[in-house]
Amino acid sequence: MSDIVITQDILDKLKQASTATLTTQLFKHGFRQQFLVGLNALNKDAGSFAGEAFTLRFIPSREDKDWDLGDLAKRGDDNLQWEAVEAIEPGKVLIIDSRSDPRAASAGNMLMTRLMRKGVVAAITDGAFRDGTEISRMSFPAYCAANTASTRPAFHRAIDMQRPIGCAGVAVYPGDIIVGDADGVVVIPRHLAPVLADAAYEQEMRERFLFTKIDAGQPLWGTYPPNEQTLAEYASWRAEQGK
């Protein structure tokens, strides 16, 4: 499925859509829950993002394998998290399956900074980040379920990357498109990204128009969703906007 081409134009359109719009579009395609419930943006002003998923999976750490912090200096299987941070390409989204366990941090400000400097567009975990306050001041979208200072190896071991994972109860396949805004994160199955990009853009435009009506005091009936007359008004408005 990763042979489906995702153009920058698709990513741009998805990025302009709100996560609310995207979950509605996904629901129309039969997807019930692609939103990562319980994860919050550390910096709500970091802006929206869209990018391909680069996955990293944790299992519980174990005393005999993970408790020598010196190992972090070595490359290889005992330090897959470092490998992942260096392997991920610019424009991608790092998304971590921390088994919804916030007892230790999935990463901290040092790795966040490295990711940001590399051009990675966002980092997500269904566990916790440490240095949350510092990260909340970075212009980098980071999402987590909690803010826990404890060092990762205390509870987690990075076991593989670019394998399918679950994150906050949602399946994520490498190459899926991840979109986030100040409200949270949505996972878009890769093959749906092109069609969703257009549909979401249209929905956003229409809702923007309808919002002006509701905001002006119109009742829901006839306006939201629009009846024929409202749709006609919308068509004129849309035409005026020349696009």
**Rule CB under 8 A: which of 81-110 touch a copy of itself?**
82, 85-86, 99, 101-105, 108-110
In 11-134, DSSP assigns E strands to 40-41, 49-60, 92-97, 122-125, 128-129
Least distance between a copy of itself and beta carbon 222 (Å): 9
Residue 160 and residue 52 in contact, taking contact as beta carbons nearer than 8 Å: no
Residue among 2 and 9 whose Cβ is closer to a copy of itself = 2
By the rule CB under 8 A, 15 interacts with a copy of itself: no
4 is a site residue for a copy of itself (CB under 8 A): no
User: Which residue of 12, 225, 232, 235 would you call a contact of a copy of itself, by CB under 8 A?
Assistant: 225
Residues 153-172 that bind a copy of itself (CB under 8 A): 153-155, 157, 159-160, 163-166, 169-172
Helices 109-118 and 80-87, axial angle in degrees (round to 10): 30
When the beta carbons of 52 and 181 are compared against a copy of itself, the nearer one is 181
Of residues 32-71, those binding a copy of itself (CB under 8 A): 32-35, 37-38, 40, 44, 58-65, 67, 69
- Structural contact between residues 177 and 193, judged by C-beta atoms closer than 8 angstroms: yes
Q: Which residues is 54 bridged to in the sheet?
A: 94
What is the smallest separation between the CB atom of 238 and a copy of itself, expressed in angstroms?
18
Please report, as residue ranges, which positions from 180 to 219 form the binding site for a copy of itself (by CB under 8 A).
181-184, 186, 189, 191-192, 207, 210-211, 214-217, 219
Q: Which residues make Cβ contacts (< 8 Å) with residue 209, sequence separation at least 6?
A: 233, 234, 237, 238
Q: 60 preceded by cis ω (within 30°)? A: no
Which one, 51 or 132, has the nearer CB to a copy of itself? 132
CA–CA dist 163, 134 (Å, integer): 30
Nearer to a copy of itself, 64 or 242 (CB): 64
CB of 242 to a copy of itself, least distance (A): 25
**Binding region for a copy of itself (CB under 8 A) out of 7-15, 72-80, 196-204, 234-242:** 72-80
User: How far is CA 23 from its chain centroid?
Assistant: 12
Of 5, 8, 73, 243, the one binding a copy of itself (CB under 8 A) is 73
**Residue of 7, 28, 160 whose CA lies nearest to 87:** 160
Nearer to a copy of itself, 51 or 102 (CB): 102
Residues 6+ apart with CB under 8 A from 77: none
Cα–chain center distance at 203? 20
139 touching a copy of itself, by CB under 8 A = no
Q: Helices 193-215 and 19-28 meet at what angle, rounded to 10?
A: 120
